[in-house]
Amino acid sequence: MMHKARLLAAAALLGVLPPLAIAAENTDAPGLDIVGFNGRGLFFGIEQYGLRHPGDKPVEQILDAPASRAMVPFSEIRIYDLRSGEEIHRSPFVYEVKEKIPAGITVRQAIQRARDENYFDAKRVIRYLTLVPRGKAFKPQGKGAEKTMFIAAPGLSGGLILKTFPLASKACPGLKTKGYELTLSTPGGDVRIHKDRRLPESRGCPVDYALVRAVVYLPNPDVDSLAVVVAARQAGKGAKVRYTVSGRVFDRRKK
């Protein structure tokens, strides 16, 4: 019960609790939680969680089964600076349950323990940056939504377009890895949000990408902040999806 007490202590400092949902929307993907924006809309955080080695069945089908150390329940919290497009220097926060898991503990409980511990470890940075869920969130809808998605919020609207292209990685020899380019098409023209020049280590060995979520936040009447969560589908064994974030701060005071 110690981890629950630590979580409650963290919650008192953060003002929020991590959601208790475990199952991912896509059974091939880890769970996803939006940690949120800071007040000025410059930083954005996400959490992904689940099992490093879930076996042959989707995690959501084994949540109430006994957990084992070999599954490696985990949580990763990543915080991005939307101005540079990079993670902050303290990111990521990673917690993995590697010790022996007591008999009677389910997969659901083991994953939740990893999440509780990781939120506790990350609380100082989350509190310092005042990261909480803010703004309006959008999910892909309909056919072709993995590569195109429409967003509409006061001050910022348009279509998000995700394109992939071959991009080699030294960490993935022999694999046809890919990078991605993300564009926002607006009535005033197209704006490039992101284009890979290299594949960061955190991306793994991606062979395809999909749009997962977009969040628009207006910290003041002159600024629009956009954060887009992209799923990087992996080649080989292990986690089948890793999440990353691309975004931009639109400041109309700067011409």
- At 255 the pLDDT is 59
- At 252 the pLDDT is 80
In whole angstroms, give the CA distance from residue 117 to residue 103.
20
Helices (H), 77-139: 107-129
Could you tell me which of 198, 164, 197, 207 has the C-alpha nearest to residue 182? Answer: 164
Query: How much is the pTM?
Result: 0.87
DSSP state of 75: E
First-to-last C-alpha distance (Å) of the chain? 54
- At 26 the pLDDT is 46
Contact between 177 and 207 (Cβ < 8 Å):
yes
Contact between 84 and 126 (Cβ < 8 Å):
no
Contact between 101 and 141 (Cβ < 8 Å):
no
Q: What is the pLDDT along the chain (255 residues), one digit of tens a residue?
A: 444 444 444 444 444 444 444 444 445 578 999 999 999 999 999 999 999 888 777 888 889 999 988 899 999 999 999 999 999 999 999 999 988 999 999 999 999 999 999 999 999 999 999 999 999 999 998 766 789 999 999 889 999 999 999 999 999 999 999 999 999 999 889 999 999 999 999 999 999 999 999 999 999 999 999 999 999 999 865 458 999 999 999 998 775
Domain boundaries, the chain: 2-129, 136-251
Could you tell me which of 33, 214, 238 has the C-alpha nearest to residue 122? Answer: 33
- At 177 the pLDDT is 96
Contact between 247 and 82 (Cβ < 8 Å):
yes
State the virtual CA torsion across 165, 167, 172, 176 in degrees, nearest 10.
Answer: 40
